[in-house]
Amino acid sequence: MSSPSITPHRDDHHHQRSSSTIDPLWGINREEAIRLCHVYEEEMGIMYPVIDIETAINQVNALYNHLSPLTSSTELATKEDPLSDDDINILKLVFACALTAEANGN
């Protein structure tokens, strides 16, 4: 008689879905990200100035510069340090707020 397993049983469907999830950030190109920063500033930033929009745009540029596959070795040496996870999450929130504002809250 075998002893009962103490390892929780994973739902294979759930495991497949979570491992194939792609970060929605990669569906937004640099130009769209900058545009969304401006939408955020116009829709939310004026009333709730908690994010400096110029800093956010600089962070967008730093993020996309870091991710750009078409860079030379000299450009790699002059690139900014990658952003922290917190900075990237703040950018994601800016994009989400801007997209929600454009969709009239939906």
What is the tens place of the pLDDT at every residue in 58-69?
999 999 998 776
* Torsion angle in degrees (nearest 10) through CA of 16, 19, 24, 28: -110
DSSP classification of residue 88: H
Average pLDDT, the chain: 79
Distance CA 37, CA 16 (A): 33
What is the band of 23 on the pLDDT scale with cuts at 50, 70, 90? confident
